[in-house]
Structure 1
Amino acid sequence: MNCTSRLLAALYVATSSGLAWTAVLEYQYGPMWAACLFAAASIVPVIGVVRESVIGDQHRALAQWARRAVSDPFTGPDADAAEHIVRAELDGACCERWWTSLGSDHDQACPHRVPRSSAA
């Protein structure tokens, strides 16, 4: 994680802590529905922390693959590293037709294909 990600994670944790404390206060002095609402809301920033760590891991992996792809004076360029980078980007796409149609259509064998109904 870089400095900005750490700062954002710290803000997420502070927000989550504040919402959790508000949930405790609402549980003691307020309506139960508000305590449940604040308890659920205190979980949402934790998802942001997890997301930031996953993005950081992806950036580190991409940087490592890019370093391996740079030619080494003793071994030469690593063609497998470039293949891994391309494969990771293509795996993010659903299927070939989805990729070429800008996300509007799927291949017949695509598991994410939603059959279109002829009913209006």
Structure 2
Amino acid sequence: MNCSSRLLAALYGATSAGLAWTAVLEYRYGPMWAACLFAAASIVPVIGVVRESVICDQRRALAGWARRAAAPSGPETDAAEDIVRAELDGACCERWWTSLGSDHDRRCPHRIPRSSAA
């Protein structure tokens, strides 16, 4: 996380703590519906903190992809090989691969036919 993301996460945390404290005070001295409202509202800033961490992870992954794309291509960094390797790893069994996803081997854990028919 960068500095602004950390500051925003701290503000989210303070807001969540303030709303939770208000929910406790409303539970003790106020109407129950207000306590429930403030308790639910105290969860919302936590979603913001999670969102900021996801954005940070996505930025980090994007920077890694950009570094790999900028690196000189060689036999180890060929994009076509990466695509073929990913497709072969995605196949669950040989019969599935050769039958275009309509049949499976007997030992295959995914014996449900995967077809594109609706």
- TM-score, normalising length from structure 1? 0.61
Aligned to 1:37: 37
C-alpha root-mean-square deviation of aligned residues, in Å? 2.3
- TM-score, normalising length from structure 2? 0.62
- Listed one character per residue, the Cα deviations across residues 65-99 of structure 1 (whole Å, up to 9, x for unaligned) are 111111249x489453xx89xxxxxxxxxxxxxxx
Q: Distance in 1 between matches of 2:45 and 2:12?
A: 5
Give the 5 Å matches for 1:96-115.
none
Aligned to 2:57: 57
Q: Which runs of 4+ in 1 moved over 4 A?
A: none
Matched residue count: 82
Tell me whether 1:28 sits opposite 2:14 in the alignment.
no
Give the 3 Å change call, closer, same or farther, for CA 77–4 of structure 1 in structure 2: farther
What residue ranges of structure 1 are gaps of 5+ in the alignment? 85-108, 110-120
What residue ranges of structure 2 are gaps of 5+ in the alignment? 84-115
Q: Which protein is bigger by CA-based radius of gyration?
A: 2
Give the 5 Å matches for 1:75-94.
75=74, 78-80=77-79
